[in-house]
Structure 1
Amino acid sequence: MKNLKIALSLLILICITSCDDFLSEKPDNRTEIDTPEKIKELLVEAYPQMSYFEIAETMSDNVFDSGLATTLVRNEQNYNWEINTEATDIDTQAYYWDACYKAIAHANKALEAIQELGSPASLNPQRGEALIARAYSHYMLVSLWSKRYNPATADSDLGIPYVTKPETELMTKYKRNTVAEVFAFIEKDIEEGLKYVTNDYKEPKFHFNVAASKAFASRFYLVKGNWDKVIELSNDLGSRPVGKLRDFSTYESIGVEDQQLKYGASDVETNLLIVSANTIVGRLYSLNRFNLSGLRRPEIYGGSTNLFNKAYYYNFYSSNGSITLFLPKFYEYFKYSNVTAGIGDPYVAEVLLSNDEFFLNRIEAHVMKGEIDTATEELEYFLATRTPTYNPTTDKLTEAKVVAKFPVIADEYTPFYNMTPVQTSYIKAIAETRRRDFIHEGLRWFDIKRFNIVVEHETSNKPTNTLVKDDNRRALQIPLHASSTGLELNPR
C-alpha cells in the first residue's frame, strides 16, 4: 500500500509542472519551447486532466434515483441530459471541454516546436505521442458534444472544432467541423502517430505508449465499423491474453482503500493509460442521489445476468447504508495548497485505457466479421476472469447460451450498420459485459450512443424522462462560454 501511495503521489507531482500556466499566458509572453527536454515536459500536459466519468455515467442506464435526500445540482442535470449551470465547477461538462482543448493546445505547441527544430528523427517518439494525444482529446469531445458517428449523416452533422495549430491570439474564434471532418482528422493523426509512438518512458503508463495508442485506435475504429483494423491492432493480445486482464481475485483479500489504489496503479498489467485527474469522482457515490442504487443493483449484477448463471467477482460497498453503492476504483489524493486553511485540490488516478476494453473491442470485431466461434472462445475467456467459481469443464459458452440469455428485441440495438440476429445477441452480450466491467467510468454512455439505445430515467414524483432514439440530447450542449464566442449550439 505504501508503494502504491508513493506512486500516485509521484504521478501528481509529474503532472503539476511549470507548463501548467502556459496557456494562460499571452502568446507573446510564453516561454520558448526550443529544446527536446521542454517538448517532453510540455507533453505531460497533453492529456485532459479533468474527469468525464461522472458526466457520462450519470446519463447512462447504470444510474437510478436512489432516493438519497440531497444531491449536487450537476448530478440531477446530467441525469436529465441538461447543460450544467455550474459552469466553472470541477467535474462539470464545461470543465472537461476546457481540459480537452487545453490538452490539444499543448500537443499542438509540441508539434510546432518539433517542426521548428527541424523534425529530427530523435523527436519522432514525441511527435507520435503528440499526434495520438491530439486525436484522443478531439475524439472525446466529438463523442460527447456531437451526434453519434453515422456515415450517412456525418457530412452534415455538427462536430467540434478540430484545432491543429497553437493559438496566436488570446480569444481565437473557431467554427465547428462536421463529424465526418473530425473523424477524418482523428484517423489521420492516429495513423501518423502510430508510426512513431514508443514505450521509452520512465513511467510509460502515463503516456500514449504503444499498447495504449493501439487500444485507443481500436476504440475509434470500432465506432467507425472497421473490424479488420480492430483485430489487427489487437493481435498482440491474441485470443487468450494470459496475465493481461484485470485479476479481480487479487482484490478479494485487501481493504477498500487498497482496492482503490490498486485499480489505478501503474504496475497493474491491464492498465495502459493513466491520468491524474482533478476530480472528486471518488466522493460522488455518497453525495449524489442519482447513482447506482442498492435496490437496483441486482438488475445489472445479479447472477442471472452472468452467462454462466453464477455470481460475479465485483464486490460493492456503501457509505450510506446501501442507498447508493460503489465498486472501489478511485483513490483520492488531496494536494494541499494551504494546510492550515485546508485548501487544495483533489486528484484521482483514472484509467483511461485498458487491456480489458481492448480485448472486448477485439471480440466485438470478430462478431461483426461473422467469426462467431472465435468470439465465443474469447468471450468465455474474458467472463471466466470475472466469475470466481468458473469451471472450465462445465461452464462452456455456446452460441445457444448467448442467444438465449440475450434474445433479440426489435429496434433495441440500432447501429448504423446491419446485424444478423446472432450478431445482435452477441453484441448485446459484449455491451452488457462492458457495462458491468466499467461501472462508474462512463463507457456505457458511448455504447448507448452508438447503438442508439433508449434510456428511461425515473425520478420520484415526476414523469419518466425518456431519451428516445436519435434524441438531440444525446449530444451535450456546447458550454455557454464557448457558444458566447460564436460557436454554434447543438439543436434542441
Structure 2
Amino acid sequence: MNIRINVLILCGCLVSCNSYLDAVPDRSLAILTTLEQYEQLINGDLYAQAPALQELGIDDYYVPFSVWQSKDIRLQNAYIWKADIYDGNSGSGVTQDWNAPYGKIYYCNVVLEGLESLSGSHESAAFREVKGHALFFRAYQHYLLQEVYGQPYRPATANMDLGIPLKYTSLPTERIFRSTVAKTFASIILDSEKALEMLPEDYQAVNKVRASKAAVCAFLSRVYLTMQNYQQSLAYADQCLSYYVQLLDYNQLYPDYRFGYPDNQEVVFSVNASGTSGVFLNTGIFVDSLLYPLYADHDLRKQVFFLQDATTGLPHFKSMYSGDSNPFAGLALDEVYLNRAECRARLGDEDGALADLNELLIHRYETGYYFPLTRESAGNTLQAVLKERRKEMVVRCTRWTDLRRLNQDPALATTLRRSLNGTDYELLPNSPRYTYPIPPKEAAISQLPQNQR
C-alpha cells in the first residue's frame, strides 16, 4: 500500500535533527543498534506535523471567489464540501494528509520493534521514555487520521462504523483493513495509557515537540471528549492540570504579538498542520461573519487573533496559534480548561464549569472589564462554555471534531453555509461528508471500503 513509505525518503526528513542518520550514506540500510539511536529517530520535528484537510471545511473563515479559484482543485472541493474532492481522479493516492501520518506511524513502529530487540534493561528510565514517546506519537497520528478519514464516534454505532487502518508493525507486507470506530479509539487509548505510565513526571517546558505526562493527559481528555465520555475526559483534564498550570495573560502581550513556539507557555505539545501554507493566513481569507461578532469590545482575543483589512475593513487572521501560516494542531491548556468546563457542565457541576470558564476568561479580557460569570449571568452554562470554546479554539484543528460530535445533539447542531460567485453551498448536520474520502488509489490498492459521501 502507499503508506509503506520508503525509508530513504522519510529519513531525509530527519536530517536536520538526527546526527546518526546524517552519517549514514544509504539511509535505507541504516541499522539501529543502540537506545540512543532510537531516541534520535523518535526525537524529531517530523512528528510535530499533522494533516490539515479537515480545516478546509470548517466555519472559522470564508474565502472570496477570486482567492478560492486560485487554489488547487482539491482545496477548492474540500472548501465547498464536494462529495468527490479528488474531482474524478481515480489515480489520486499520494496525498500528504494520508501518507504523512502513516509515515510517522511507520517510524514509531520501527522504534517500538527495535527497542524490544535491544539487550540490557527494558525498565530503565531512558528506555521507558523512548518507548513512551513512540507510543504517544503513534496514538496521536492515528487519532488525527481517524478524525479526517474515519466516521464520527457515535456511542450507539461505534462498534459497526468504519474507522481507519491501524498500523502496529513496520512490515511492508502487513495486510491492512479498516477497523471499527470503537476499535480505533480503543487502540488510541491503549497506546496513550501505556505512554502515560512510561513518560517521566517532569514537564518538558522547553522542548514541546516531545511528549510529557501533561501532554498525554491533555490528549486523553480530548479523546474521551470526542467519545462523549465526560467522566473520563474530566478525570484526564484534572490530571493534566495537576502536572502543569499556565495560561497566557493577554494583558501582558505587546500590541504586535504573534503566537509562536517556544514562548507560548500554554502549549504542552506543539504540532502544526502541514501542507496548507497560504490557504489561511493572508489578506484574502476573512474571519467568518458569524464568528467575529461574538467577541466583545474588551475581549483581547479580538486584537490578538485578528486584524482589520486596510482596504475592505473586514477582519482577517493576524496570527495563527502556531505562530506561522499553518494551523496549530497540538495541545494547550486553554483547551484543557474548556474540556473540563464542558464536562463539569454536562455532569451537573455548573459552579465548577463556571470557575474554569472564569479562570480562562480573566486571562483573555482587558483588565477591569471582565466580570466573572455566575449562574444568573451565564444563563445556560453548557451553552456559555461552548460559546467560549468556539471563540477560543479558532483554526486549531478541533472545530471539525467538535462539529462531528455536537451535531449529534439536535439542540447543538449547526448547518454550515458558504457562498461563492452567486452559488450557495451547505453542509447539513451529521452529513456523511463530515468524513473525507480515502485517496482513491489507496482504497483500490489496499481494497479498503470507501467512505460514502
TM beyond 0.5: yes
Q: Deviations for 1:189-248, whole angstroms, at most 9, x for unmatched residues?
A: 111111011248695311111211111111011122333332332335669x86x11222
Contact conserved, 1:264 with 1:351, CA < 8 A, in 2? no
Contact conserved, 1:275 with 1:352, CA < 8 A, in 2? yes
Q: What is the match of residue 7 of structure 2?
A: none
Query: Offset at 1:80?
Result: 1.5
Q: What is the match of residue 109 of structure 1?
A: 110
Superposed, which structure 2 residues align to 1:314-353 within 5 Å?
A: 314-315=302-303, 316-317=306-307, 321-322=311-312, 325-329=316-320, 330-332=322-324, 350=328, 352-353=330-331
Q: What is the match of residue 397 of structure 1?
A: 373
**C-alpha distance in 1, partners of 2:169/2:94?**
24
Equivalent residue in structure 2 for 1:59, among 57, 69, 85: 57
Q: What is the match of residue 339 of structure 1?
A: none
**C-alpha distance in 1, partners of 2:342/2:161?**
26
**C-alpha distance in 2, partners of 1:127/1:245?**
30
Contact conserved, 1:364 with 1:427, CA < 8 A, in 2? yes
Q: What is the match of residue 450 of structure 2?
A: 489
**C-alpha distance in 1, partners of 2:442/2:264?**
38
**C-alpha distance in 2, partners of 1:145/1:375?**
32
Q: What is the match of residue 231 of structure 1?
A: 234
Q: 1:179 to 1:461 in 2, by over 3 A?
A: same
Q: What is the letter of the counterpart of residue 307 of structure 2?
A: Y
Contact conserved, 1:454 with 1:469, CA < 8 A, in 2? yes
Equivalent residue in structure 2 for 1:182, among 174, 181, 184: 184
Tell me which moved more, 137-146 or 228-237.
228-237
**C-alpha distance in 1, partners of 2:100/2:431?**
26
Q: What is the match of residue 41 of structure 1?
A: 40
Q: 1:165 to 1:46 in 2, by over 3 A?
A: farther
Q: What is the match of residue 221 of structure 1?
A: 224
**C-alpha distance in 2, partners of 1:364/1:319?**
34
Q: What is the match of residue 136 of structure 2?
A: 132
Confirm or deny that 1:146 pairs with 2:124.
no
Q: What is the match of residue 98 of structure 1?
A: 99
TM-score w.r.t. length of structure 2? 0.81
Q: What is the letter of the counterpart of residue 383 of structure 1?
A: L
Q: 1:46 to 1:265 in 2, by over 3 A?
A: closer
Confirm or deny that 1:156 pairs with 2:160.
yes
Q: What is the letter of the counterpart of residue 81 of structure 1?
A: W
Query: Offset at 1:115?
Result: 0.9
**C-alpha distance in 2, partners of 1:371/1:13?**
50
Q: 1:110 to 1:185 in 2, by over 3 A?
A: same
**C-alpha distance in 2, partners of 1:282/1:433?**
27
Query: Offset at 1:103?
Result: 1.0
Contact conserved, 1:218 with 1:358, CA < 8 A, in 2? yes
**C-alpha distance in 2, partners of 1:300/1:324?**
11
Q: What is the letter of the counterpart of residue 204 of structure 1?
A: N
Confirm or deny that 1:375 pairs with 2:353.
yes
Could you tell me the percent identity over the aligned residues?
25
TM-score w.r.t. length of structure 1? 0.75
Q: What is the match of residue 72 of structure 1?
A: 71
Q: 1:139 to 1:276 in 2, by over 3 A?
A: closer
Equivalent residue in structure 1 for 2:271, among 265, 271, 275: 275
Q: Deviations for 1:343-383, whole angstroms, at most 9, x for unmatched residues?
A: xxxx9694611111111111111112211111112112212
Q: 1:33 to 1:286 in 2, by over 3 A?
A: same
Q: What is the match of residue 411 of structure 1?
A: none
Q: Which runs of 4+ in 1 moved over 6 A?
A: none
Q: Which has the higher contact order (CA 8 A, sep 6+)?
A: 1
Gaps of 5+ in 1: 1-10, 333-346, 404-424
**C-alpha distance in 2, partners of 1:20/1:96?**
27
Gaps of 5+ in 2: 1-12, 408-412
Q: What is the letter of the counterpart of residue 148 of structure 1?
A: P
Q: What is the letter of the counterpart of residue 77 of structure 1?
A: N
**C-alpha distance in 2, partners of 1:318/1:12?**
39
Equivalent residue in structure 1 for 2:292, among 288, 294, 301: 301
Q: What is the letter of the counterpart of residue 115 of structure 2?
A: I
Q: What is the letter of the counterpart of residue 337 of structure 2?
A: F
Contact conserved, 1:47 with 1:137, CA < 8 A, in 2? no
Contact conserved, 2:50 with 2:329, CA < 8 A, in 1? no
Q: Deviations for 1:316-369, whole angstroms, at most 9, x for unmatched residues?
A: 12667355611312555xxxxxxxxxxxxxx96946111111111111111122
